[in-house]
Structure 1
Amino acid sequence: MIRNIFLLLLIMMTLGASAQKRWRDQVINDMRPAILERAAWAAKQEPETITAFRCDRSAGGMHDFYSEGDYWWPNPVSVDSPYIQKDGQSNPDNFVAHRQAMIRFSRIMGALAAGYMASQDKTYLEKALLHAKAWFADPATMMHPNLQFAQAIKGRATGRGIGIIDTIQLMEVVQALKIMEKAGIIPAADLVAIRSWFEQYLQWLTTHPYGKEEMKAANNHGTCWVMQVAVFASFTHNDSLLTFCTDRYKNVLLPSQMAVDGSFPLELKRTKPYGYSLFNLDAMSTICQVLSKPGDNLWAYTAEKTKMISKGISWMYPFVKDKNNWPFAHDIMYWENWPVAQPFLIFGAAAYNKKEYYQTWLRLDHDPQVEEVLRNLPVRNPLIWL
């Protein structure tokens, strides 16, 4: 009996890996010129971490990541009054340099790893190592492994748990690191230091009040906590956290956030319902891509007999294929900038062998430059996730 179960799991692993490889080869075949063009850009970039930028409003030091709440504005009553909220409307005068540096880091690492996969040229990975060491190992330039000062609000908070969403930008960094480790590019001492950074950050994410608060968020913030913790835990080989994230997807995220029709009501209530619906579906699909394994395929998991990720994709897909069919309010900002090459399309294509999803993904923008889009599209190189 045990032998039969083992053989069945082995067959499932082989079939799953084979399917992923077919889609990986397809992406390389169709996207190689664009992948190598972005990798060439990334190879020219020099490391630049948060220590290159400083905001006097930050309560932290030079190694502490700092950002300010996007939708908070000066109170017209008095410049000295606490900021007031305007949901969905980003204040262009808020400090975002650290977030921009992290997005740049993510774009560089993802592009270099994808370039290696498309060419097998290890010089891309050697370049990526310089950036990783600057962020996680070099005492002069590294970032502290916590987010105590993210999404601050002038006059109200020096930092908030909601700011944890900013480090979704480190997910493709981790995917690149895993590829680099497998290729033997990271020296042993550097690998210990880099992995230790993520172990410390996971400890903070799961024990600090900000982390616990963000984990319990009912909307895309709760989804993104699970998504990034799962990715970081896969790099640090933290099996208990991987199991926790799987259970939370099954028993909390999917049943509480998805409606019977596959939509996400909490995202539809926002002032940017289209963009937030895309974002949350991308995040849940990424969770399925990261955590699915033989015997526990999240792509096939159903909550409350009706809710599964395939239904979420089926609900959103017509509005990606033709946005003019969107039956809800238009987003208050950035309506014209979505959709782009959403990762749920390529991950869904691979999971369900849906060529139509892949063809739609192929024709969309794979290299958006609008900052808001970049911020909400942390999976920009799905090749490195396949």
Structure 2
Amino acid sequence: MKSIIASTLLIFSMYSVADPIDFNRQFTYIDVNKIENNKQKIENNEALYTLALSSNIKLAEKALNSEANPVTNKPAPGPSGDLHDYMSIGPYWWPDETKEDGLPWVRKDGQVNPMTRGDNTDQRRAKAFLTNLENLNTAYIYTNQTKYLAKAKDLIEIWLVSPKTKMNPNLDYAQGVPGDSTGRPFGIIEFAQVSNIITSIELIETTDIATDQFLKESKKWLDNYLNWLLTSDLGREEQTRANNHGTWYDVQVLGLMMHLGRTEQANDYAEAFKLNRIASQIQADGSQPHELFRTKSINYSSMNLRAFLKVANLASKLDVDLLNYKGDKGQSIRLAAEYLVPYVENKKQWTHDQIGDNNLAFDKKTIPALLIANSIFEEEILSYSLIEKRSNYIDSMAILMF
């Protein structure tokens, strides 16, 4: 571990002389002050942060050497007949074994069908694209090496700008079900990390690698995508979902509104989040009932908490206080975080359904979400000593970007 920390500090010291972030502008998802605090922790040899940066740089280097894999790489188009249309299949759907043709497929909650993750769909392509952007953005922020941002720009040009390869700005054919539907609102969550595109563009804007054409076309794509989210039948239906799908939809919509300068609209949207999400999805004890009935209840409770925290972080930049909001029964984002703590600490036994090992789910999903909660609330909701003891699965983004 000492050698990893030493090499990470060497990289950090070599490339962090100049600040890559312009303090004179506000970023949609980046909190500049928290980034600077994290850099100080790395300089102070705090293991959790140096290991996170080491992990991030490895992933960013891998992204540098990766080939772009846009939606037009599908061997055949989806239901629309247009290769530029994103298409995927609902992950928990399987052929009906009681029928000769297997149609329509049937749902097995929490059980991912490998057939939905093949090269014939775009889910893995989009996930790789968005994850690569996240790692490249973070590596640039912490090392100031432009090569990471240049790669991010290349990927965005292929996915959003180039007429030959760009994706149409909609998810009309996401998470379809063979024999039942060509696309469903649930597929919108597959672009939940559109935030990484926004961060890349905002970082690129501060450098000399930005071009007017790139900025114009990429922002045009994002504007069209936001309009699709707000006006399409699938988008409007997803907005009504009273679970993690609705919350992650809001992460996308609010961030896009803010990035595109729709400030008044964003302010209203953030205010509505109080009743639409916090008061309706969180109970007085902090539980999230719509997530608890799932077969991976730990995963979904943690995932939804993370979305709540992201929206609250966005809203804070609009002077809308979601962190201290309480519903008429005391429901709050903080309560949702505190609800999970005694289970992570093994002071309570989780009694809801959970496919797989509970502690593994807590380590991989819940602890990163609570680490973000610690940062956003600026206090230890979950003790850092416990986090460090159970940091076998490093979530670099939860550590470095909050």
Q: For the residues of structure 1 that align with 2:298 and 2:189, how far apart are their CA atoms?
A: 19
Measured against aligned partners, the alpha-carbon deviations of 1:60-113 in whole angstroms (never above 9, x if no partner) come to: 410111111122221222233311222222222225541111111112111111
Q: Deviations over 1:242-262 (max 9, x none)?
A: 224302311210000000011
What are the residue-to-residue correspondences of 1:122-133 with 2, within 5 Å?
Answer: 122-133=146-157
8 A Cα contact 1:286 1:343, kept in partner: no
In structure 1, C-alpha distance between the alignment counterparts of 2:359 and 2:97, rounded to whole Å: 30
Assess if the C-alpha contact under 8 Å between 2:175 and 2:186 holds in 1: yes
Asked if structure 1 preserves the Cα contact closer than 8 Å seen for 2:92 and 2:107, the reply is yes
How far 1:317 moved relative to its partner? 2.4
Q: Which moved more, 1:143-152 or 1:286-295?
A: 286-295
Q: Would the aligned equivalents of 1:23 and 1:350 in 2 still touch at CA under 8 Å?
A: no
Q: CA deviation at 1:51?
A: 1.1
For residues 220 and 234 of structure 1, what CA distance do their matches in structure 2 show? 21
CA positional deviation for 1:170: 2.2
Does the C-alpha gap of structure 1 residues 270 and 105 become closer, same or farther in structure 2, counting only changes over 3 Å?
Answer: same
Displacement of 1:325: 3.7
Checking the alignment, whether the CA contact within 8 Å between 1:195 and 1:236 is kept in structure 2 is yes
Q: Deviations over 1:298-336 (max 9, x none)?
A: 2222222512211111111233344x8442234135756
Identity %: 27
Alignment-derived partner of residue 243 in structure 1: 267
The aligned residue for residue 178 of structure 2 is: 154
**Which of the numbers 12, 16, 38 marks the counterpart of 1:24?**
38
Structure 1, residues 181-231: CA drift from partner, whole Å, max 9, x if none?
233432111011000000000000000111000000111111111011112
CA contact (8 A) 1:36 1:118 kept: no
Corresponding residue for residue 114 of structure 2: 92
Question: Equivalent residue for 1:329?
Answer: 352
Kept after mapping to 2: 8 A contact 1:102/1:170: no
Match of 1:141 in 2: 165
Match of residue 364 from structure 1: 391
Cα distance in 2 for residues equivalent to 1:156 and 1:38: 38
Query: Which residue is equivalent to 2:379?
Result: 354
What per-residue deviation string (whole Å, max 9, x for no partner) do you get for residues 33-77 of structure 1?
223222222221222211112356634410111111122221222
> Are the aligned partners of 1:226 and 1:248 in contact in 2 as well (CA < 8 Å)?
no
Q: Deviations over 1:107-166 (max 9, x none)?
A: 211111111111111121111110010000001111000011011111110111111111
- Judge conservation of contact 1:234–1:242 (CA < 8 Å) in 2: yes
Distance 1:249 1:28 in 2: 35
Q: 1:384 to 1:141 in 2, by over 3 A?
A: farther
- Partner Cα separation in structure 1 for residue 191 and residue 31 of structure 2: 28
Gapped runs of 5+ residues in structure 2? Answer: 1-29, 44-48
Is residue 137–residue 194 contact of structure 1 (8 Å, CA) maintained in 2?
A: yes
Tell me, in whole angstroms, the C-alpha distance in 2 between the residues paired with 1:142 and 1:183.
Answer: 24
Equivalent residue, structure 2, for 1:207: 231
SS in 2 for 1:93: helix
Q: 1:168 aligns with which of 176, 183, 192?
A: 192
**Are the counterparts in 2 of residues 83 and 155 from structure 1 also a CA contact under 8 Å?**
yes
Given that residues 282 and 336 in structure 2 are in contact (C-alpha distance below 8 angstroms), is that contact kept between their aligned partners in structure 1? yes
In the alignment, the residues of structure 1 paired with residue 99 and residue 124 of structure 2 have an alpha-carbon distance, to the nearest angstrom, of: 29
What is the TM-score normalised by the length of structure 2? 0.81
Which stretches in structure 1 are left out of the alignment for 5+ residues? 1-15, 369-379
Contact 2:306–2:372 under 8 Å retained in 1: no
Partner secondary structure for residue 189 of structure 2: helix
Partner SS, residue 178 of structure 2: coil
Moved more, 78-87 or 307-316: 78-87
> How far, CA to CA, are the matches of 1:315 and 1:26 in structure 2?
31
Give the TM-score, by structure 1 length. Answer: 0.84
